[in-house]
Structure 1
Amino acid sequence: MNCWIILILVWIEFRFRVESVEMIPYYNVFIPTNSSQTFQRCQIDIPVSSTELNYEPKLDLQTIRNESFHESIEFGGRYRPHGCQSLQNVAIIVPYRNRSVQLQIFIYNIHKFLSKQNKVQYQLFIVEQKDMNQFNRAKLLNVGFNEAIRWNNFDCFIFHDVELLPLDLRNLYLCSDQPRHMSSNIVRFAYFYEQLFGGVCAISTSIMNNVNGFSNRFFGWGGEDDEMRSRLVRKKYQIQRFPSEIARYIKLSHPKDNLNDPNPQRFRLIKESYRTSEKDGLNNLDYILHSIVEHSFYVIISVEFKQNKN
């Protein structure tokens, strides 16, 4: 009898949690939250004053080295908003190799930006490719997802190139109910990207699992973001974007990377996606894990890949 009572109570609690998911409108997207404590939730009201909108990144490396980080950044690159409960638990995943200057500038500015927003609970993960094969951005993103989910129960993943810095504080680092391309307006190029899905994107944990993550086959530059877009479209997701005046990023310059040459097979791999995506992604991800090290302002995950012939 007691077992039946326990089962009924568990079912009621589960049903309440499912039904408590609320969709909060923000500009042209809907932000889901599982929080039932509405009086403590971080408010995502649209700012009224124009002075609240812009963020000026600091790009001088010497200035950054001389400044201290926000005191509320916890060891391992974790941040929790003050005075309110975040709508989601967010992991920021940054694929990386041999760009130490850009990495220092990025880490400083992304923490400053998000702590100034004070609306998102997040942790920063740097995923480093240690081998000398061609760079595989998408596979590093899969590794970041796979390892971060073991750390915490993240609702949302922001996949973020190291050379891009956000400029508008209305650009919330949260997932919506659909995949969101966050960096559609890179001001250095004065262009609005309406069809791409690279740079910075927000994908919920459930969507990542549903599309089997990114492809692991793209060694070298290009194609992996287009292939991911194909996966999402085939699963009937609609890629969302904030208005261009909000989705503004600046792109840091960097030297040419001889281990990130344009992938000559990228167009063929994109065409093959419709028949390969179910078996190429999170479910066949392989890598050699060198180390996972917590630093003061981030976690760095170092891995090695074997470059397979496509």
Structure 2
Amino acid sequence: MMLPVRTLHQGGLHLKAPTEDEIMKLNPAIEAGGTWRPKECIRLKKVAIIIPYRDRIDHLLKLLKTLFPMLQRQMLDFRIIVAEQYGNDLFNKGRIMNAAFTYAETLNVDCVIFHDVDMFPQDDRITYECPNKPRHIGAYVNTHQYQLWYHELVGGVFAITMKDYRKVNGYSNVYWGWGGEDDDMAKRIISQKLEIERLTEDYAKYTMLDHEKRKRVSSKLVLKLVKEAESRWKTDGINEASLWTINRIDVRPLYYHLSIDVGKPPPEWKPNLLQKIWNYFFDP
């Protein structure tokens, strides 16, 4: 039986992050890999929550503390995958998510939810169950005044079935640094005649914590690639598994931890002197 709805208070997000031991004590039923399933009933669908990650341990621990009780209240069969990029090169979120998806397939789940580590739900009516259609869950965010800026938007928190993810060939692998991969995914979804659904803005609201953003190293290149997304999706995606390697898999008490090598960015993605000056003064 679903427990009464509650608002998830946000005040604690600005306090000191909990430790893993503290989270474990608060959630004693959570099993290795951040796994939990209801004992009162058998859920027909299994969900894996994938968190692309780099150097944000405080955010990660706060997010886990927020999600665990919420997901249990929703009586979901879930597990958590933290996908961390190996090394210090430019972040490639698309490759990270594709690699984590292939690991989620080995866990025999029915859908995945890609969840930015700085996105915190404000209400536990925001369902994390498997959707019938690709679902943009994190559509209404405090930093955007809880407005949907444009329709082709699936960033933040995004749920999709395993079948549909394969149908659109996953995320693009060609975006480095900040931006582009989510807009590219939206174009893939639309090109396959799939509909992006969203929850009501009455309660499906998120708080985004302050963080140091990934640098957009080449805005012109990002815009060019997004424009070409519909013509490139068949050859650029999860079918290019040689582009990444899962170096290590640790089954931790609160999550599966993947260390993923995504290779080196091409020369055109490395910021030149003018871009570095622009980033220093205008994109701090």
TM-score (norm 2): 0.85
Asked if 1 retains the 8 angstrom alpha-carbon contact of 2:96 and 2:262, the reply is no
- Structure 2 match to 1:136: 92
Moved over 6 A (4+): none
Q: Partners in 2 of 1:90 and 1:69 — Cα distance? A: 22
Distance of aligned partners of 1:63 and 1:129 in 2 relative to their CA distance in 1, 3 Å threshold: closer
Alignment of 1:123-202 (within 5 A): 123-150=79-106, 152-193=107-148, 194-195=150-151, 196-202=153-159
- Structure 2 match to 1:32: none
Letter of the structure 2 residue corresponding to residue 53 of structure 1: R
- Structure 2 match to 1:268: 224
Structure 1 residue 261, shift from structure 2 partner? 3.3
Q: Whose RCO is larger (CA < 8 A, sep 6+)? A: 2
Letter of the structure 1 residue corresponding to residue 138 of structure 2: S
- Structure 1 match to 2:280: none
Q: Partners in 1 of 2:145 and 2:83 — Cα distance? A: 29
Asked if 2 retains the 8 angstrom alpha-carbon contact of 1:78 and 1:122, the reply is yes
2:66 is the alignment partner of 1:120: no
Q: Partners in 1 of 2:141 and 2:257 — Cα distance? A: 26
- Structure 2 match to 1:11: none
Q: Partners in 2 of 1:166 and 1:86 — Cα distance? A: 23
2:8 is the alignment partner of 1:55: yes
Q: Partners in 1 of 2:140 and 2:165 — Cα distance? A: 24
Structure 1 residue 281, shift from structure 2 partner? 0.4
Letter of the structure 2 residue corresponding to residue 76 of structure 1: G
Asked if 1 retains the 8 angstrom alpha-carbon contact of 2:89 and 2:265, the reply is no
Q: Partners in 1 of 2:218 and 2:129 — Cα distance? A: 31
Distance of aligned partners of 1:183 and 1:299 in 2 relative to their CA distance in 1, 3 Å threshold: same
Post-superposition Cα deviations, 1:138-192, rounded to whole Å, max 9, x if no partner, equal: 2111111011211x21101000000001111111112222100001111243232
Q: Structure 1: where are the runs of 5+ without partners?
A: 1-42
Structure 1 residue 90, shift from structure 2 partner? 0.3
Q: Partners in 2 of 1:81 and 1:215 — Cα distance? A: 35
SS in 2 for 1:101: helix
Q: Partners in 1 of 2:26 and 2:93 — Cα distance? A: 28
Q: Partners in 2 of 1:85 and 1:253 — Cα distance? A: 38
Asked if 2 retains the 8 angstrom alpha-carbon contact of 1:219 and 1:307, the reply is no
SS in 2 for 1:91: strand
- Structure 1 match to 2:277: none
Distance of aligned partners of 1:61 and 1:205 in 2 relative to their CA distance in 1, 3 Å threshold: same
Higher Cα radius of gyration:
1
SS in 2 for 1:191: coil
SS in 2 for 1:79: coil
Which of the residues 5, 9, 18 maps onto 1:64? 18
Q: Partners in 1 of 2:14 and 2:35 — Cα distance? A: 24
Structure 1 residue 246, shift from structure 2 partner? 2.5
Deviates most, 129-138 or 218-227 = 129-138
Q: Partners in 2 of 1:295 and 1:120 — Cα distance? A: 20
Distance of aligned partners of 1:255 and 1:243 in 2 relative to their CA distance in 1, 3 Å threshold: same
Asked if 1 retains the 8 angstrom alpha-carbon contact of 2:90 and 2:265, the reply is no
Q: Partners in 2 of 1:186 and 1:304 — Cα distance? A: 31
2:35 is the alignment partner of 1:96: no
SS in 1 for 2:258: strand
Q: What is the identity percentage for the equivalent residue pairs of Structure 1 and Structure 2?
A: 32
Letter of the structure 1 residue corresponding to residue 18 of structure 2: I
